[in-house]
Amino acid sequence: MSAFVVILTKDLRLELRSGTSTIAMVALAMLVLVVLVFALGPAVARGPEAAAAALWIALVFAGMLGASRALMAESENGCLRALLISPADRAVLYAAKLAAAAIFMIVALGAGAIFTVLFFNLEFSGALPRMAPILILGVIGFAALATLLSAISGRARGGELLLPLLVVPMFVPALVAGVRASAAALSGAPLGAARDWIAILVAFDVLFVAAGYLLFEHVIGEE
Amino acid sequence: MSKRLGNILGAATLVLITVSLWMIFAWVPTEAEEGIVQRIFYFHVPCAWVAFAAFAIVAVAGVFFLWLGGQIWDDLGYAAAEIGMLFCTLMLITGSLWAKPIWGTWWTWDSRLTTSFVLWLLYGGYLMMRGMLEESEQVARFAAVVGIVAALDVPVVIVSVRLWRTIHPAVLVTRQGGHGLQDPRMIVTLLVSIAAFTLMLAWLLTLRLAVLRARTRLGAIARAVAIAEFRRGQSV
Amino acid sequence: MAAAAVETIALGKSYRLTPVLLEVDLRVDAGRAAVIIGGNGAGKSTLLAILAGLSAPTAGVAMVLRQDSRRLDSAARRRIGMLEHRSFLYPNLTAAENLEFYGALYGVADPRGVALGWLRRVGLANFAGERVRKFSRGMEQRLAAARAMLAAPDLLLLDEPFAALDSDGAAIMADLIRGELARGCAIVASAHGALAIEGVALEQYQISRGRVVPYLEKSGPSRARRLRSLLGRQSQ
């Protein structure tokens, strides 16, 4: 079995057992939505535009939480060092952590999407299947950035601030594209209408997964 | 050597800036549509150019640092980031000063300003990261990675923001770069100004780099002393 | 002459301004065991980290399994096992799952079978399905030892392997060490004081002030240290 599969199944198994990350992300996504509804008021907090924005805000906040935890899972008992000593390539470790973070985020945001449709008075029919690929693309891009950068922020004092500080500006293009595409999907338009935005999301993902894959070894080593 | 280079660059910068200022304030004709305010354009565009160029330097220095490993690349990246941040801030300020009389508002999310603002945030993140982390080989590698990833981000930002803004055309008029500069004197002024600012970038880089390299050299000496004392068995 | 499993040449390591290792020349052949003896902060763990490829030397070179320690490829890392005070075990996985994970990661042919075999060998067969978070410290250490050795390494790096082991645990560890050496594995271990393992000729070195020199009992560390005598027999 390739190292990627071995590490990923280990992370999935651990998450299934404790579930802390995913549950925390679902909770955070829900809280973000609730805050937005109460802050915007029911007159504004309705319809596809507001809903798309709310869901992607939830993605960013929940993602911040989830992505840093993917690497934190290795901090007990020095397991990260064991992984670094092992024959597994650093890049493969990155891919596995990225995949794990993305999977947990997608699950959490799936729940978030359901809440969004409910809170923002949207139609369920067809909205969620259309949203799914857009959310998945967004999650992959976010996880690609956050997994790479959390290797840095995990080590710093006050590192919790560092991760959002670095990730959020870098995520702007995907955020912009994702919200636009999601708004189109939620308002019933077919995905083809959002073709340009989806193209940006795809380019974003390809670019940053590749960058992370190549650069991870430089950020994960020891002194 | 670098001191001489620094002095030459400094002198050249001074000369060209003086010429440029004269051109901007005395020589170039006032633009018909926007009036005297338009002269900010001759500061704003070079600032933008320098900000983006410095950002590219940060990324390229990062690549060389990861590839070749010399501390000078890390120093260059850090220096370029600091200076780039300066010019990025100036770019935003001049942009704002320009926007107010033309559009009646201090800030607007047109595609160029928005991209500039994201660039400013990226620089800010890089500098805050370096400020928060203690200097070490590892942190230098992190910084190189951040610089590279941020630079990769910039083209995507530009494309996405441009697309973002074109769907709301009613809000404002997009500024074009060499937008109908009628008089050839305007083009000359712009080019001279860009050249002057570029020289200033190079000069400031040599200054800042000299400081950082001196610090690196000092660190190397301190390390050598520490090792020598360690070797002799005295406490460090 | 067969190449050594470990050979360091003028190996040095300094962290920024703190030198730790200085001109270490060490050679360990296959089937031999070297023990590096020193106090806290003497550099034992640093040396082992370099040999594991985790940390790069700042001077000299460490050849591990005939490769530069800074550039160990996947095949070489497959043949290295490490044991230190942290267990490298996932608390929420069972003993068997932990071993299977590492077995699969190290390309072992039958991870489940090998895992169960090792659990038997360290006396934890009855706890195969228990989560590690429920283990006592002694059990965790035995499992950690199994983890380090299950991929049949050619080089074992043991950071204070006998620290905090009770006599049963120590007996098991000695047995494991004998077994690995018989297989032709090379061992580099660190310890606070001199070790003696029945049936094993240990090459003892002392690390002090950054250098590694042969350990002479008479010139041992000035502070009184217990001489750990190790049990190869069942009863004392």
ipTM: 0.90
Among B141, B149, B156, whose Cβ lies nearest the Cβ of A148?
A: B149
Residue type, B12: A
Distance CA B142, CA B101 (A): 42
Chain-chain contact of C101 with A84 (C-beta, under 8 angstroms): no
Q: Does A72 touch chain C (CB under 8 A)?
A: no
The residue-averaged pLDDT of B173-177 equals 44
Higher pLDDT, B111 or A96: A96
Could you tell me if B29 and B21 are in contact, meaning their C-beta atoms sit under 8 angstroms apart? no
B31 DSSP assignment: B
Distance CA A181, CA A172 (A): 14
Could you tell me if B216 and B225 are in contact, meaning their C-beta atoms sit under 8 angstroms apart? no
Please report the pLDDT score of residue B177 as a whole number.
Answer: 45
pLDDT by position in tens, chain C (length 236): 567 889 999 999 988 778 899 989 999 999 999 999 998 888 999 999 999 999 999 999 999 999 999 999 999 999 999 999 999 999 999 999 999 999 999 999 999 999 999 999 999 999 999 999 999 988 999 999 999 999 999 999 999 999 878 888 899 999 999 999 999 999 999 999 888 898 888 999 999 888 888 887 655 454 444 455 444 433 33
Do the strands C6-15 and C59-64 form a parallel or antiparallel pair, or are they unpaired? antiparallel
Distance of residue B147 Cα from the nearest chain A Cα, in angstroms: 11
Distance CA B160, CA C214 (A): 65
For chain C, how long is the longest CA-to-CA vector? 50
Which residues are bridge partners to C34 per DSSP? C188, C203
User: Which of C13, C78, C92, C149 is the best mutation test for A, with the most CBs of A within 10 A?
Assistant: C92
B176 DSSP assignment: P
| CATH class of segment(s) C1-77+155-163+184-236 | alpha beta
**Residue C180 C-beta-side C-alpha neighbours within 13 Å:** 33
Distance CA B91, CA A200 (A): 27
**pLDDT band at residue B24 under the 50/70/90 scheme:** confident
Domain ranges, ordered by start, for chain B: 2-173+184-232
Structural tokens at position B124: 């800010």
Among A159, A161, A219, whose Cβ lies nearest the Cβ of B141?
A: A219
Chain-chain contact of C86 with A77 (C-beta, under 8 angstroms): yes
Could you tell me if C62 and A48 are in contact, meaning their C-beta atoms sit under 8 angstroms apart? no
Q: Does C17 touch chain B (CB under 8 A)?
A: yes
Chain B residues lying within 8 Å of C22, measured CB to CB: 227, 230-231
C97 → chain A, closest CA residue = A10
Domain ranges, ordered by start, for chain A: 3-220
SS3 A64: helix
Please report the pLDDT score of residue C236 as a whole number.
Answer: 38
Which are the contacts of A195, defined by CB distance < 8 A and separation ≥ 6? none
Chain-chain contact of A14 with C84 (C-beta, under 8 angstroms): no
- pLDDT (tens digit per residue) in A102-145: 999 999 999 999 999 889 988 877 778 888 999 999 999 999 99
Q: Does C22 touch chain B (CB under 8 A)?
A: yes
Distance CA C132, CA C102 (A): 14
User: Which segments of chain C are extended strands (E)?
Assistant: 6-15, 18-28, 33-37, 59-64, 67-68, 80-83, 155-159, 186-191, 202-208, 211-214
Ranges of H-type helices in A19-89 = 20-40, 47-72, 79-85
Order of strands, sheet of C202-208, starting from the edge strand that comes earlier in the sequence: C80-83, C155-159, C186-191, C33-37, C202-208, C211-214
Place of tokens 């049990």: C231
Chain-chain contact of A87 with C15 (C-beta, under 8 angstroms): no
Could you tell me if A32 and A57 are in contact, meaning their C-beta atoms sit under 8 angstroms apart? yes
Chain-chain contact of A152 with B124 (C-beta, under 8 angstroms): no
Kindly list the distances between the CA atom of residue C202 and the CA atoms of B90, C112, C182, C195, in Å, as whole numbers in the listed order: 68, 33, 13, 8
Could you tell me if A172 and B117 are in contact, meaning their C-beta atoms sit under 8 angstroms apart? no
Average pLDDT value for chain A: 90
